[in-house]
Structure 1
Amino acid sequence: MGLLEWLNDQLLRMQWLSDLVRVLVERVFGLDMATRVGASLHFFIYDVIKIFILLSVLVFGISWVQSYFPPERTRRLLGGMQGFKANLSGALLGTLTPFCSCSSIPLFIGFTSSGLPLAVTFSFLISSPLVDMASLILLASVFNWTIAIAYVLIGIVLAVIGGTLIGYARMERYIEPFVLHSPVLDLPQEQLHTADRLKYAAGQVAEIFGRVWIYVLIGVGVGAAIHNWIPASLIGALLGEEHWWSVPLATLIAVPIYADIFGTLPIAEALVAKGVGLGTALAFMMSVTALSLPSLIMLKKVIRTPLLSLFVGIVLLGIIIIGYLFNSFAPLLT
């Protein structure tokens, strides 16, 4: 085993943790890993601990970086850019925000009130919950680096295209007036010391942890049930890769669910293990993170129905196309 493979197994997949949990299940709880109960308990404990460890480390590091990019500074950095470059920068900036779609909306308001073009702010809004750096690391820990990188790249493409199309539609009149007049607070960077950034990063970890822990438990629980209790034949009949409707169905099923990648990745992992197409599982995960019903309700308070409908339509169609692409090219990625 090469050094990189060993690091990937021990640091990302946390094989050492899986082995420890196996000992706990077999020797402490006295359960056979070959049984459904034993396998489910191992899946649940291992995934919960692994996700919480990665969540804490990733959010802390990303939040530290984000402390250098308050809304006004971002506006200054992006203000001189035009067209594709500006949209790409907005999408890439979204990868630095480890937030769900609901948490991205206040930043969306801040960027809009700072005078950034609508295309750039929507590129950010699509990218932020969909393809942050946490998703890259978590996907690599569950699947592999090829799938993780492909997911992030195609998510950024969707954010850039979606933002560009919305910009061309010139629908600024459908933004609620209060958004354009919201105050933008910007603490001068020279007033932020290392202790301030440490406090900010730790606060973000605590805030996000407090918000998502229940969804992680639910998501891992559902994943454990799918993995060990629901027959593969039943899942295959609904979401089998051979069915043309599997990707649209998975995308639409996910919309009413409120979670983020930390809660939905265990479900996607379990679906793939049961024979569901990679693209179908990823489409489900993307739809949950980008188009959850609570986030759309919040967004409706910020933008009016025509603009919201265009946003949902573009993202929904983009996710479905991405799902079909991943299903088609999965053999090349695994």
Structure 2
Amino acid sequence: MIISAFFSFLNDQILKMTWLSELIRLLVEKVFGLSIKERLGGSIHFFIYDTIKIFILLSVLIFLISYIQSYFPPERTKKILGNIKGIKGNILGALLGTITPFCSCSSIPIFIGFTSAGLPLGITFSFLISSPLVDIASLLILMSFFGAKIAIAYVVVGLILAVVGGTIIDKLGLESQVQGYIREIESVDADIDEMTREDRISYSKEQVKDIIKRVWLYVLIGVGIGAAIHNWIPTSVVERVVGSKNPFAVLLATAIGIPMYADIFGTLPIAEALFGKGVGIGTVLSFMMAVTALSLPSIIMLSKVVKPKLLAIFVTIVSIGIIIIGYLFNAFSFIFI
């Protein structure tokens, strides 16, 4: 009973921040004189509440994750991954991506570093898929939007996709498809300097500032689109386009997501609004995965690092994986909802 009450408090007050929702409701109704049950009032409440909630959770979680990450500088990470081969290496590469809260474009320089250091191609691609797709921060923020079951399931399937994708690329033996200059980059085994507690705190603060600077605009755009979908676009329209009655909804959501550029934090408010309109959870997750793992800018950047054949194989593997995941989640949505 006590444990249940604790987790209920954690979910409602810490993750979902129902206290904040109530405060914003009072602001909208008492100060602005608008009802949150009406379109304008509801949009303002959605925008202010989701924006503040995301930035609070993001700041706290990135600080904690960065503090942990400070114990694993690139040199140490390379040494750890360099000693592990095969499926174990792919799993470790995917798991490493969960402690790097980067968007897909930010993950590519690290991918280049790993590749130039001579790490197996499959491991580096497992990292490249996992890093923008899943991390500890996204897990907890997903829980605040969709609950624990869906959040955990999203992370698990994201890791599976990363491991499977990296394994397939490894088995295909595509090392020759990496641009020559990447292999020629000199890898230096630098000494690993131990950081003091103050150094780690300073590093974590800088990471929070850096990531907030990079994502704030996408968060605001995402929340704005989410507010519009939630309060202004009729449910019938959303259901007709990407609803459960459209057998091509997952394909359409994936195709729409790929040209967009945002990280998971900017995508979540849109996903929340779509889910609230009755869009299938698999369709929502496919959209999120396409935006975060296959954004057009990241594909353009990756094209400068790998040759067309490897790039096409990477996009194909990830796209097919996202589509399969979407249809499976829609088929078994009763387990999660």
Common topology (TM > 0.5): yes
- Alignment partners' CA distance in 2, 1:124 and 1:176: 18
Alignment correspondent of 2:138: 135
The alpha-carbon deviation at position 182 of structure 1 amounts to 2.7
Q: For the Cα contact (< 8 Å) 2:73–2:192, is it kept in 1? A: no
Matched residue of 1:39: which SS?
Answer: helix
The alpha-carbon deviation at position 62 of structure 1 amounts to 1.2
The alpha-carbon deviation at position 189 of structure 1 amounts to 3.8
1:241 to 239, 244, 269: 244
- Alignment partners' CA distance in 2, 1:251 and 1:235: 15
1:67 aligns with 2:62: no
User: Against the structure 1 CA distance between its residues 186 and 53, is the aligned structure 2 distance closer, same or farther, given a 3 Å change threshold?
Assistant: farther
Alignment of 1:83-94 (within 5 A): 83-94=86-97
- Alignment partners' CA distance in 1, 2:121 and 2:140: 30
Alignment correspondent of 1:158: 161
Consecutive unaligned residues in structure 1, runs of 5 or more: none
- Alignment partners' CA distance in 1, 2:190 and 2:21: 44
1:175 aligns with 2:183: no
Using the TM superposition, name which of 97-106 and 167-176 deviates more.
167-176
Consecutive unaligned residues in structure 2, runs of 5 or more: none
- Alignment partners' CA distance in 1, 2:263 and 2:188: 27
Q: For the Cα contact (< 8 Å) 1:91–1:128, is it kept in 2? A: yes
- Alignment partners' CA distance in 2, 1:136 and 1:315: 20
1:212 to 193, 200, 215: 215
Alignment correspondent of 2:324: 321
Q: For the Cα contact (< 8 Å) 1:63–1:201, is it kept in 2? A: yes
Q: Percent identity?
A: 60
Q: For the Cα contact (< 8 Å) 1:72–1:184, is it kept in 2? A: no
Alignment correspondent of 1:58: 61
Q: For the Cα contact (< 8 Å) 2:75–2:192, is it kept in 1? A: no
Structure 2 counterpart of 1:137, one-letter code: L
Using the TM superposition, name which of 182-191 and 265-274 deviates more.
182-191
Alignment correspondent of 1:104: 107
Q: For the Cα contact (< 8 Å) 2:75–2:190, is it kept in 1? A: no
The alpha-carbon deviation at position 185 of structure 1 amounts to 6.0
Alignment correspondent of 1:273: 276
Structure 1 counterpart of 2:133, one-letter code: L
Alignment correspondent of 1:39: 42
Alignment correspondent of 1:194: 197
- Alignment partners' CA distance in 2, 1:79 and 1:34: 56
Please report the TM-score for the alignment, with normalisation by the length of structure 1.
0.97
Number of residue pairs the alignment of both structures matches: 334
The alpha-carbon deviation at position 144 of structure 1 amounts to 0.8
2:126 to 123, 126, 130: 123
Q: For the Cα contact (< 8 Å) 2:117–2:187, is it kept in 1? A: yes
Matched residue of 1:283: which SS?
Answer: helix
Deviations 1:144-165 (A, max 9, x none): 1011111101110000000000
- Alignment partners' CA distance in 1, 2:262 and 2:191: 34
Q: For the Cα contact (< 8 Å) 1:278–1:326, is it kept in 2? A: yes
The alpha-carbon deviation at position 178 of structure 1 amounts to 2.1
- Alignment partners' CA distance in 1, 2:227 and 2:245: 24
Q: For the Cα contact (< 8 Å) 2:98–2:131, is it kept in 1? A: yes
Alignment correspondent of 1:2: 5
The alpha-carbon deviation at position 183 of structure 1 amounts to 4.2
Q: For the Cα contact (< 8 Å) 1:109–1:182, is it kept in 2? A: no
- Alignment partners' CA distance in 2, 1:257 and 1:44: 20
Alignment correspondent of 2:24: 21
Structure 1 counterpart of 2:221, one-letter code: I
- Alignment partners' CA distance in 1, 2:157 and 2:54: 23
Deviations 1:43-95 (A, max 9, x none): 00000000001111111111112222222211211222121111000000000
Structure 2 counterpart of 1:23, one-letter code: L
- Alignment partners' CA distance in 2, 1:198 and 1:181: 35
User: Against the structure 1 CA distance between its residues 243 and 177, is the aligned structure 2 distance closer, same or farther, given a 3 Å change threshold?
Assistant: same
Matched residue of 1:2: which SS?
Answer: helix
Matched residue of 1:89: which SS?
Answer: helix
- Alignment partners' CA distance in 1, 2:131 and 2:41: 37
Structure 2 counterpart of 1:333, one-letter code: F
Q: For the Cα contact (< 8 Å) 1:68–1:189, is it kept in 2? A: no
Matched residue of 1:116: which SS?
Answer: coil
- Alignment partners' CA distance in 2, 1:308 and 1:245: 25
- Alignment partners' CA distance in 2, 1:321 and 1:3: 36
Q: For the Cα contact (< 8 Å) 1:215–1:259, is it kept in 2? A: yes
- Alignment partners' CA distance in 2, 1:27 and 1:212: 31
